[in-house]
Amino acid sequence: MLFFDVETKTSETSGIWDSFNVDAMEISFVGAYDNEKDQFYSFWEKDLEKLEELMVGSETVVGYNSWLFDYGVLKRYFSVDPRTFPSIDLMIALKEALGFRPKLNDIAWVNVGSGKLGSGLDATDYWAKGEKDKLEKYCLEDVRLTYEVWKVGEETGKIKYYDKSGFEKEAEIDWNLGKMQKVVNSEQKRLI
């Protein structure tokens, strides 16, 4: 499995987010983790062809809010629509199980004991200031947290979360609820 996260050069303050037009966003950095090889990967905009090869060769690609956001940004850089990859979007699975879309930071803190190193706004600031080391560290930590959250749910069949009142709760989780794959033709297996 390949876990990944996309960072962009622009943020909600740029006006692009007004209509959530991910097609207009440009990638600054993508982090990935191959759990079988126990290896992290770093991809800058110039390296995205290598990322596409890695994703195409993966049995399953896993992200957090990846179906709507990350794939929407990536599709203009790839020769194939990334939504055709067998994928699991952890946020979609959590929404199906919990009835709302929790933030990765909240889910990570209650299940892993650590959280994000900042926000998406920090990532765009790092890019704007040329602080590539900070951007890479920030993104790879999000990838690690995504993997660790998946691992907790995979091993226990349960996930802890904070309800809307801020109380810690626990629910059964089946990551298959977040399986996604765009149907390109009638012969392709549909996972949603």
Task: Give the Cα separation of 75 and 152 in Å (integer).
Answer: 30
Residue by residue, pLDDT tens for the chain (192 residues) are 999 999 999 854 444 444 457 778 999 999 999 999 999 999 999 999 999 999 999 999 999 999 989 999 999 999 999 999 999 999 999 999 999 999 999 999 999 999 899 887 889 999 999 999 999 999 999 999 999 999 999 999 999 999 888 899 999 999 999 998 876 554 444 343
Q: How far apart are the C-alpha atoms of 127 and 134, rounded to whole Å?
A: 9
Which residue is associated with the tokens 């920030």? 138
Instruction: Report the Cα 110 to chain-centroid distance in Å.
Output: 18
**Is 186 inside a domain boundary?**
no
CATH (domain of 85)? 3.30.420.10
How many domains, the chain? 1
CA–CA dist 21, 148 (Å, integer): 30
The answer as to whether 168 is a domain residue is yes
Tokens of 42: 């770093």
Q: Residue 189: inside a domain, yes or no?
A: no
Task: Output helix, strand, coil percentages for the chain, rounded to the nearest 5.
Answer: 45, 20, 35
Helix 104-112 with 132-156: angle, nearest 10 deg: 60
CA distances from 169 to 114, 158, 163, 173 (A): 17, 10, 7, 13
87 assigned to some structural domain: yes
- Tell whether 154 is covered by a domain: yes
For residue 13, give its domain range.
Answer: 2-180
185 assigned to some structural domain: no
147, part of any domain: yes
Residue 188 lies in a domain: no
Copy the structure tokens of residue 123: 């990532």
Q: What predicted TM-score, i.e. pTM, was given to this entire model?
A: 0.88
- Widest pairwise Cα distance in the chain: 47
- Neighbour count for residue 120 (Cβ, 10 Å): 16
Look up tokens 């691992």; give the residue: 151
